[in-house]
Chain A
Amino acid sequence: MISHRPRGLPGSGLPEYLSSVTSGVPFWARTCGYLVVVVGVLEVLCRLFIGVAPPERYDARYDKISEPGRWVVHSTEGFSRGRTNELGFLDAAVPRPPPADGILVVGDSFTEARHVDQAERFTNRLEKRLARRVYNAGHAGWSPLNAIGFLAAEKATLAPSTVIVQVSGNDLQDIVARKRPHVVEPAPGAFAVELPKRAAEGTAARVKAILFRSALVAAATSSALQLLAGGRDNDATGSCAAPDPRAVRALPWIAGELRRGHDDVHLLYLPMLDYHAGCVDRCAAARDLFARAAAGAGLAFVDATPALCERFRATGQPPNGFANTVPGTGHLNAAGHAVVAGVLADHLVAHRRLAR
């Protein structure tokens, strides 16, 4: 098991050289010294390439959001680096005063899109194409209920002329999940949003905050927890189980709430496509429900499904998946974002022409 090269000869190999220069140092001290170097190197690697998740805070109006001004490195699905803005989103700073023709896109991880470079996201592409400021207000795990709270809270800050709320099939499960903002029905037909109860910050949270300043500790803990839970959420972006009846009943009310106080609101539906089965939306039932609710509340409904499938059939390259995950699964890749940006741009241009 031991390398039998002569020891202590500088130049005969790094281990031998290190052994020669540390020959008088006790075993434990040498081991600790090497471990400090190893941990240091890993910490640097984590900060540059592996993962730095920004800490989250809780806002009483719309639940969780990333801390502002934090460095983010994402590498488990696709790869990107960036910094959160003053609102806690991965986006450029909000201009003061905000332009009159701004577009606000509120959504979940598909909108936040940590998986691609910021310039490749559909919000940034849309901004370039329409020459209008497009605010990316996407946060992983958000549903239309977070959007309702956020729109009410930050309308004055951003003053958008157009609002796009991005939804996906899994939202119909999320809006009734008690761990997230969920709809309650105190009386038949009367709905309200209830935020989950968050534990008060105690000593454990403070210790965790200190430890998690290390990107290595944060990434390793996150990985270990996922391992213990038996699943890493790389390629699953939510389930398409049969929609909960309460969610189905609440959808028209949710659409109405999104419309409240805004003239120009659009519902953008991003599908979960099964490319192996010929590009079929696994959540087609949810799409139909969203479309119906949007029509009922006077929201414009934008479905990216046909364009995404058309792109897949034309090129054979699925618009979901990355070089470090399985193609056709998970979030939209750069090509997928380009398709969605095209669909949205065409829709907004046509909509404006129609409105005139």
Chain B
Amino acid sequence: MTHQAYRLSIIYFTLFALLLLTTGATLFFSKIGFSFEAIHNYYAGNEALFMNAKSTYGQLETLVPHLGAMGLFIMVMGHFILFASKKRRKGIVTIFILLFIAALGDIVSGLFIAKNIGLFIGVKLLSFIALIGFGYYLSLLVLHEAYLGFKKA
């Protein structure tokens, strides 16, 4: 019966995870924007629009908590699915690795965009989309497995 209580906590945890990803995507959209130009303006600045470039230390204030939080989030979410589903282990491990890479790309690319290295605008956009997409997929997978387990118990 203890497992039933664990599963309940996990179900709520995944609902929070979906909300976390949604607020993250909304923040990105409303604060930065999803176009190449908007991302460049946000990090490297634009004199015509009176936008200052983001300083390295200014970016570190966002970067540091995200490094800790994203690492922890992916690890916790990942270990739930590893325990819950034995069928799709290989595929899921690939998703973790991709998630870690995407999270790192999303966090670090701003530093390079601020130095006017245009290539990283694509890295930022691609890694953010991958992070949100795989994050949703993993969360829904955990939710599905936990719900099935809860119903069986």
Partners in one complex: no
| Chain B residues close to A by CB (< 8 Å) | none
| Chain A residues close to B by CB (< 8 Å) | none
